Chain A
């Protein structure tokens, strides 16, 4: 899962990025509205955390322009606790709204819910065959037994599971699993896929040659 964080308050940006990375998200950051809009338009993020008060372009403008092109889920951060702002945010196309100061846990929970909703799921648990993924606790178990995954492996499993039944291209995976700072070589993705197959069963991830990977598909992966 890849997330864009747009916040001009350096100390806030750094702590949020740290917390999100530790939650196994790939995190891109932007310190002003223009940079944020550019990144949001050019990559497909699983969610965007957008501050309202931004230099260059404010959050409202960024949101309005983004909504003309993309449906990426957006969580707005604002220091103004007025009903009018909430209404405006939701009307402009924000998917959720959080008033500063907020608790990190709440931000993380809302982000999870946002990503889940945009993928069309209602709960934190994703069951694929005998594999159960708990997106809140970020744990994976197979037939009731806990399976230890690295951050990357978990991110790969979660992304494929959230988009179960869909063929996910390698490009998409790169876009969503690695942030702009990752100097990952492309074959590393194959390494992660192979490791996951070792831990969760070879059939868990099906390869659609020339297209990408799939989990929980009609005739591929684990039914």
Chain B
């Protein structure tokens, strides 16, 4: 199993490649060395062999210098020592190391002469033709060069190549030793390099493991941000940050939702338990039941809103898209919401011009109504709400500006967050769930529209809704 790790796979590949390269290199170097040495030997042998041929020519012209003439032509021609001219005989002297030898055969394969350095069992080469030139052969530890003279005699010069073979063996051993050393160093270097590459990967996977195990706030340390691994770590960190954020939001949402549900439940529990502790008058029972009803209604509002958000989140609510005029819809909504403003003497100022757009009319009405209600709710008494609808390039825009307390700059980015209330001093009993704007945002998002807010604390807030024309 361990060999499936990247470290081992890299190491094995690296090792195999190095062995391959070293073997290739070693074999080539050995062959070259051997060829060079053999070439040298061959050249020397060729010279000796030519000397022999020359002496033969001279001999046939002059006869063997020492041989009795009467014996020429005796049958069978006795094996006799080569008689070489003194300037040649030193080439075949026993004193030479390595000692060269020469052998001559007659046309019909009878040995006709040999140097005293020649080994006893030199086989005559077969089928040598004069035009073939000089041929070399290796027999065991000797190397021989031979050729045929035009009359058909075969002249051979040879010598032991034991010193060369020994040197080649030494060379091969040297290659082996150096190769082994290089392989060892290479493998160690490879191990080191792989370790350096692997270490940050291990660090990343360890950290990622811890993060996956639950510690979402941890991050991978990136030392070399520009390296490939640095970029990978940055990408992972970005992903973890988004996950962390999403989880935090989810946790916050769950905590908020349970908080909002706990309060009405605690009202019902304490109201009923306090009332049931002893017999009460009908009026007291009635008051308790009314309190319970208020709490139940509050829970119903909350649950409805939560379900709506969940459906919007899941994209389950199919948007019933149709073309409508935003100014007409706002006018209708104002008729419904208008009286709310009168209760607090809030003045409506409207500037509505035709603004065609596309969307789910029912859902957009919900958004519009929410924005208008908010504008009254967060307004001051005798305040003003300016409502503007107009067409603009690509769609319709609704602007609702109030003259209320406004929203602190620090709170602005969170206004559309679920359960966010800029007004911490809110009363629980006001029937607001803290989800209204979050739902609006989700609806507008589903329409590819835009809902934004600007505010001047103390002077009022302005909500702007943009919807696409198609």
Contacts and interface: CB of A to CB of B under 8 A. Distances in A.
B274 A11 contact: no
A8 B266 contact: no
A100 interface: yes
Most buried by A among B259, B288, B429: B259
B331 interface: no
A12 B267 contact: yes
B278 interface: yes
A105 B263 CA distance: 18
Interface in B210-262: 255, 258-260, 262
A53 B266 CA distance: 14
Contacts, number: 82
A102 B255 CA distance: 17
Interface stretch (A15-23, A67-75, A128-136): A15-23
B386 interface: no
Given A15-B291, A55-B427, A56-B425, A79 B259 contact: yes
A82 interface: yes
Interface in A9-50: 9-12, 14-16, 18-19, 22, 32
A101 B427 contact: no
Contact of B273 (A11, A79, A105): A105
A105 B270 CA distance: 9
A175 interface: no
A22 B98 CA distance: 130
Contacts of A58: 424
A154 B233 CA distance: 71
Interface in B282-339: 288, 291, 294-295
Contact of B266 (A19, A55, A80, A102): A102
A103 interface: yes
B134 to A, nearest CB: 100
25 contacts: A8-B428, A9-B428, A11-B271, A12-B266, A12-B271, A15-B267, A15-B274, A16-B274, A19-B274, A19-B277, A22-B277, A22-B278, A53-B259, A55-B425, A79-B258, A79-B262, A79-B266, A80-B255, A99-B262, A101-B265, A101-B266, A101-B268, A102-B266, A104-B269, A104-B274
Interface of B: 255, 258-260, 262-263, 265-271, 273-275, 277-278, 288, 291, 294-295, 424-429
Given A14-B271, A55-B426, A100-B265, 11 more contacts: A10-B429, A12-B267, A18-B275, A22-B274, A22-B278, A55-B424, A79-B258, A81-B258, A101-B266, A102-B269, A104-B270
